[in-house]
Structure 1
Amino acid sequence: MCQVLCLIALLVLSAGLKVSAAERPNIILLMGDDHGWDETHYNGHPHLQTPALDAMAAHGLRLDHFYSAHPSCSPTRGSVLTGRHPNRYGVFAPGWSIRSQEVTIAHLLIRAGYDCAHFGKWHLGPVKASSPTNPGKMGFDHWLSHDNFFELNPELSRDGGPPEPYRGDGSEVLIDEAISYLSAEGRTSRPFCLVIWYGSPHEPYSGLPADLALYDDVPAQYNDRTVRVTSNETGEQVKRPIGDVLRERYAEITAMDRSIGRLRGWLKENDLRDNTLVWYCGDNGSWQDGIVTASLRGYKGTVYQGGVLVPGVIEWPARVTQPAVCEANAVTSDVLPTLCDLLDLPLPDRPLDGQSIAAAFDGEMTGRDNPICFWNFSTGGGKLSGLEPYYTAEVQAGTTPLVKKLGGRFTRNFRSLRIPQTDKRFFEGARAILDQPYKLVVHGGLGGADVQLFNLDNDPAEQHNLADEQPNRAAELKQRLLDWQTSVLASLTEADY
C-alpha cells in the first residue's frame, strides 16, 4: 500500500512540472565572494581577464542590474537558498546562522527528484555533522564545504566529517571535486543541482605565480596609498600598498574564472551543457581595496550601489538560445522563485522577497513587479541583550581552519537568537528600497533622519539627492520601505513557522 501511495505522489508531482523528468534542466549556482559589479572584463574593468564569464555574458543572459540581497556574505547566501531577505530569519551579518525551519531550494529540488550537492563556502552555520544548520540539514545530499572563506590549499569538510587538506587553488579544488562528484557512475542519470560558492576573491589574498604574472603592471599604477588586509603569514591585519593587494585580488578572480571555464568545458564534453542552467553572481559588492576602479558609490557593507550591485550571468543553451541582456532589476532572492517557476514547483508557504525572473530567459522581462528592499540590520543599542540563543555554543562552534585570525581563533563560531518580540529600535540600520529607476536610502532610527533619493537612470553613481526636489516620491517610498520592514520583523519573531 505504501509503495502505491508513493508512486501516486510521484506521478502527481511529475504531472505538475512544465517539463518531463528527462527534460528537466540541471542547475549549477555559482557565487563569488566579495565580487563586485565592475570586476569583470565584460563590464569594462581596465585590468581583469575573465574569459569564461565574458563568454557566458556574450552567449547567455546578462543581468545588467543584478543585486545581492544584502551588502555582506552570509545574509546574501541565505537569500539564494530561501528566496527571503535574511533578516526574516536572523542572519543579520556574517557569522549569524540560518534557522533550521527555513525551506531551501535544495529541499524543494530533492522532492522533485534532483540530486543536490554543495561545494565551498557555506557560512550559514558550521558544516560539521552535529550542526543543525549544516548543508545536509538544509537539504543537500552531499557537501564538501567550509564554515567561512578559504584561499590556496583549503581545508574542507566532506559530509560533516573532520576538515581535510586539499592542495591547489581553492576555486579549482571546488570544480575538480564537483566534476569528480558528477563523474561517479550513474550520477547524471537524474537531474542535479550543484551550489558552488567560492572563497575568492575575499581577502586575505593569494595567487598562483602564473596568475599573478598577468597583473605585474598593476602595483605601479596604484601603490601611492596603503590598505589594511590580512597577512597570510600571521592572520593579523597589516598595512600594504594597495597595488600589490590588487595584483593578488585580480589573480584570485582570474583563477576563479578559469575554474568556471573548466566546468563549462566538462559539461560540453559530457553532453550536459545544453540542458544545464549555470547562474553566476557575486554575494555583495567589492571591499574597499577592490573598489578603486569603479565609479559606484559605496562598497561592501553599505546599501549604496557599490555594496549591492554585483555581476549576474545565466547560461542555459537549451532555453536561452540567443544572447540577451536584461535591464530590469533582479536580486539574489529571485533564484528560488525563478527555479520554482521554471519547474512548476510550489513556492514555500511563507513571505518571499524574491520573484520569478523566468520571463527574462525569453527576453520578455522589461520591468519588475515588486521593488527590491535592502536592510543592513543594526545589532547594537542593546536590543539583543539577554535573548535566548537558538542553538548551544557547542553546536555553533566552527571547525574548518582559515587564514584570517579573529578573536584569537583561526576558526569561526556562529550565533543565532530567539527574538519573541520587537520594538522601534529594531527598525534601525541602513536600508534602501529600489523601484526602478528610483532608489531611496535611509539612515538613522525609525524616524529616518537621513533620507536620500536617487534616479539611477540619470545618476548611477548616487551623487544627486532628489529628496527635497521630490518629497512626495520620497515619502511614498519611505512608507513602502517601512511596511516591508514591519513584515520582515514579523518573520523574525517566528510568525512564519
Structure 2
Amino acid sequence: MKKITQNPLYLYFILLLSVLISCQQRSQEQTNPALPNVVLLLGDDHGWDETGYNGHPYLQTPVLDEMAAAGLRMNRFYSASPVCSPTRGSIITGRHPNRYGTFTPGYSIRPEEISIASLMKDAGYTTAHYGKWHLGPVKTGSPTNPAALGFEEYISHDNFFEMDPPLSVNGAEPVIFEGESSEILVREAQKFMDKAMEKNEPFFVVIWYGSPHEPYSGTPEDLALYEDLPENFGDRMVNLTSNETGSRVERLQRNVLQERFAEITAMDRSIGQLRDYLEEKGQRSNTLLWYFGDNGTPQEANATVPFRGQKGDVYEGGIRVPAVLEWPAKIKQPIVSDANAVSSDVMPTLLDIIGADLPELPIDGISLLPMMENRMPQRPAPIAFWNGRPRNAGEGLEDYIDPELQKGTTPLVKLMGGIATRNFKNFHQTDIREEDFSGPRALLDNQYKLVIHGGTGEDAKRELFDIRSDPAEEKNLIDTQAEIAGNMEDQLRSWQQSVLESLTESDYQ
C-alpha cells in the first residue's frame, strides 16, 4: 500500500502550510519592529534645580542622575507654560495652549484638538494614560477625558493627588489605590504593558505623576532620608495647603522641604522600577523613556533655584525644567545638549520617529530627533511663551462645553471655594482685540530672551537678557540692544496673532 506522505499534492500542501505558519510567526514576532515603545513621564511642579545631576545639595535622585549620565540630558528644556494644565496641553497637541483656551489651571482643552495619543494609535500603538490629567474631567461622558483624546485605557485623576490616591478607572467613579502614588502609577502601567506585549503591540504610555505638587507627604523611609537637613536651610516660613484641613497654613520651609524631597525621591525610585521592569521584559533597549517637569519650582519650595522667578513666571525659574531621555537602541553614547527645547516638541518628535505626518494646522513644536542624533547644536527657530488669560476672565463669553460636563469627580485635599475637587471651563472667542495681546510673554532665541509684562503700549515692562551669559536674568539690555529687542517683539507679536486666530477656532474650519 502506498504511503500518504509520498503523495506529491500532500507534500506540497504540507510545505505550503509550514511556510504560511512560519511567515505568520515571523509577522507576530516582528509586529512593527521599527516602532519603539514610548513612555512619557511628567513631574508635577518639579523645578530645574531639584535633581542631583543639576547640583542640588541634598536631594537624592539616583535614577534621574543615571539617565542624565547615560542618555540624552537636555540642559535647556522648557515647559510651554509656567503652570501645569497649559504645559500638559502642549504635550498632547504640539501647540501652544492659548491656541485652544487652556490658559491656566482649571481651563480644559477643546475636543477638536488632535491628540498625540490618537495619532500614535493610528500608527499601530496601543495607548494608555496614568495619573494627573488636568485637561478636563476624567469622568465618562466628558468630551475631554483621556479616552476622548485617544487613550484606550486610563487610570487618572482630574488634578493632583498624594498618598493613597483616588483614581478613576476608564471614567468610572474614583476608587482608592492604597500606597505611594508614584509607585502605584508605574505598577498599573506595567499591567498595561504586559497586555501590549502579549499582543505584540508597541505601547504608548503616559505617566503624569501627582508628585511633587503640594500638599506634601511621604513614606517614613523616604522622610527619614531628609530628617537632618541643615538648620540654616529653609529657615523661613512658607504658605501652602494643610493635609489636615485642605486650607492654607504657614509652616517652616525646612519641614516642608523634607516632605517634598521625600516625594521626589519616591518618584525617582518609581522610574527606576519602570526601567528594571523594561529590562526584565527585554524591552528597555527599544523603549523611549522621556522625563521632564511641567513648570518651575513653586514658591513654598523655592530654596535652591539659581534663576530669576518661580512657578507662574515667564522668567527662567518658572519655565526651565529638568529633562532626560533614554532610548538605548538609538542613543548609544551619552549626549549633553545645550540647545533650547520645549514641551511642545513632544508631538513633532514622536511623529518624526515613527514616520507619521504632522496635523495640517499651526504647530509650535519641532522635532528633536536631530538632538537625539547629536546633530542639533542650536534650535532653528525661537520659542515663544505667553501666560495669557481669556478676555475679561471669560465674562460675557459663551461656554465652549456644557458646564455640567466640565464638573470634576476625583477628590483632592486642597480646597478651592470650599470644593474638594476641580471643575473646568473653556470659552468661545470669536474676534481679536488689542487687549487680547496682553499678559506675561517672552521670546527665546539662541542668545537672547525678550520678556514683556502688561499691555501692549508704552507702559508695558520690557526686558532683554543675554540668556547664555546671564541665565539669572539680572542685566536688562533693553536700552543698549534696542534693535534686537524691537525685532524680537515684532516676531512675538506676529506669533501672538497666529495664536489668537487659532483661539477664534479658525483651525477647526
| TM-score normalised by the chain length of structure 1 | 0.95
> What one-letter code is carried by the residue in structure 1 that aligns with 2:433?
D
Could you tell me how far 1:343 is from its partner in structure 2?
1.1
User: Is the CA contact 1:152–1:167 (under 8 Å) kept in the aligned structure 2?
Assistant: yes
User: Is the CA contact 1:219–1:246 (under 8 Å) kept in the aligned structure 2?
Assistant: no
User: 2 CA distance for matches of 1:234 and 1:289?
Assistant: 18
User: Is the CA contact 2:351–2:358 (under 8 Å) kept in the aligned structure 1?
Assistant: yes
The one-character-per-residue Cα deviations of 1:21-40 (angstroms, maximum 9, x if unpaired) are 11210000000000011100
User: 2 CA distance for matches of 1:183 and 1:118?
Assistant: 15
> What one-letter code is carried by the residue in structure 2 that aligns with 1:347?
L
The one-character-per-residue Cα deviations of 1:216-266 (angstroms, maximum 9, x if unpaired) are 122623353100010001100000000000110000000000000000000
Q: Which runs of 4+ in 1 moved over 6 A?
A: none
Q: What does 1:228-267 align with in structure 2 at a 5 Å threshold? A: 228-267=239-278
Aligned to 1:11: none
User: 2 CA distance for matches of 1:331 and 1:20?
Assistant: 32
User: Is the CA contact 1:333–1:354 (under 8 Å) kept in the aligned structure 2?
Assistant: yes
Larger Rg: 2
User: 2 CA distance for matches of 1:384 and 1:239?
Assistant: 32
> What one-letter code is carried by the residue in structure 1 that aligns with 2:282?
D
Aligned to 2:448: 438
Q: What does 1:105-184 align with in structure 2 at a 5 Å threshold? A: 105-184=116-195
User: 1 CA distance for matches of 2:60 and 2:236?
Assistant: 24
Could you tell me how far 1:288 is from its partner in structure 2?
1.1
Moved more, 23-32 or 443-452: 443-452
User: 1 CA distance for matches of 2:95 and 2:340?
Assistant: 16
Aligned to 1:467: 478
Aligned to 2:397: 387
User: 2 CA distance for matches of 1:389 and 1:58?
Assistant: 48
Give the aligned CA root-mean-square deviation in angstroms: 1.2
User: Is the CA contact 2:196–2:203 (under 8 Å) kept in the aligned structure 1?
Assistant: no
> What one-letter code is carried by the residue in structure 2 that aligns with 1:135?
P
User: Is the CA contact 2:126–2:196 (under 8 Å) kept in the aligned structure 1?
Assistant: no
User: 2 CA distance for matches of 1:338 and 1:420?
Assistant: 32
> What one-letter code is carried by the residue in structure 1 that aligns with 2:449?
K
Q: Do the aligned partners of residues 422 and 176 (structure 1) sit closer, same or farther apart at CA in structure 2, a change above 3 Å counting?
A: same
Aligned to 2:439: 429
> What one-letter code is carried by the residue in structure 1 that aligns with 2:244?
E
Aligned to 2:17: none
Q: What does 1:47-446 align with in structure 2 at a 5 Å threshold? A: 47-184=58-195, 186-187=197-198, 189-218=200-229, 220-379=231-390, 382=392, 384-446=394-456
Aligned to 2:489: 478
User: Is the CA contact 1:126–1:396 (under 8 Å) kept in the aligned structure 2?
Assistant: yes
Aligned to 2:6: none
Aligned to 1:13: none
User: Is the CA contact 1:28–1:279 (under 8 Å) kept in the aligned structure 2?
Assistant: yes
User: 2 CA distance for matches of 1:125 and 1:335?
Assistant: 20
Matched, 1:452 2:463: yes
> What one-letter code is carried by the residue in structure 2 that aligns with 1:265?
D
User: 1 CA distance for matches of 2:161 and 2:75?
Assistant: 28
Q: Do the aligned partners of residues 466 and 387 (structure 1) sit closer, same or farther apart at CA in structure 2, a change above 3 Å counting?
A: same
> What one-letter code is carried by the residue in structure 1 that aligns with 2:37?
N
- SS of 1:184's equivalent? helix
- SS of 2:144's equivalent? coil
User: Is the CA contact 1:219–1:247 (under 8 Å) kept in the aligned structure 2?
Assistant: no
User: 1 CA distance for matches of 2:203 and 2:43?
Assistant: 21
- SS of 2:231's equivalent? helix
User: Is the CA contact 2:31–2:201 (under 8 Å) kept in the aligned structure 1?
Assistant: no
User: 2 CA distance for matches of 1:306 and 1:396?
Assistant: 31
> What one-letter code is carried by the residue in structure 2 that aligns with 1:75?
P
User: 1 CA distance for matches of 2:430 and 2:213?
Assistant: 35
User: 1 CA distance for matches of 2:276 and 2:374?
Assistant: 26
The one-character-per-residue Cα deviations of 1:250-288 (angstroms, maximum 9, x if unpaired) are 000000000000000000000000000000000000101
Aligned residues: 478
User: 2 CA distance for matches of 1:175 and 1:298?
Assistant: 32
Could you tell me how far 1:367 is from its partner in structure 2?
1.1
Q: Do the aligned partners of residues 66 and 186 (structure 1) sit closer, same or farther apart at CA in structure 2, a change above 3 Å counting?
A: closer
Specify every segment of 5 or more residues in structure 1 that has no aligned partner in the other structure, as ranges. Answer: 1-18
The one-character-per-residue Cα deviations of 1:316-371 (angstroms, maximum 9, x if unpaired) are 00000000011100000000001111111010110000001100111101111110
User: Is the CA contact 2:104–2:389 (under 8 Å) kept in the aligned structure 1?
Assistant: no
Q: Do the aligned partners of residues 229 and 188 (structure 1) sit closer, same or farther apart at CA in structure 2, a change above 3 Å counting?
A: farther
User: 2 CA distance for matches of 1:97 and 1:237?
Assistant: 25
User: 1 CA distance for matches of 2:249 and 2:295?
Assistant: 24
User: Is the CA contact 2:297–2:305 (under 8 Å) kept in the aligned structure 1?
Assistant: no
Specify every segment of 5 or more residues in structure 2 that has no aligned partner in the other structure, as ranges. Answer: 1-29
User: 2 CA distance for matches of 1:310 and 1:102?
Assistant: 25
User: 1 CA distance for matches of 2:87 and 2:270?
Assistant: 22
User: 2 CA distance for matches of 1:383 and 1:206?
Assistant: 34
- SS of 2:506's equivalent? coil
Could you tell me how far 1:400 is from its partner in structure 2?
0.4
- SS of 2:380's equivalent? coil
User: Is the CA contact 1:302–1:308 (under 8 Å) kept in the aligned structure 2?
Assistant: yes
Aligned to 1:16: none
User: Is the CA contact 1:63–1:327 (under 8 Å) kept in the aligned structure 2?
Assistant: yes
> What one-letter code is carried by the residue in structure 2 that aligns with 1:246?
L
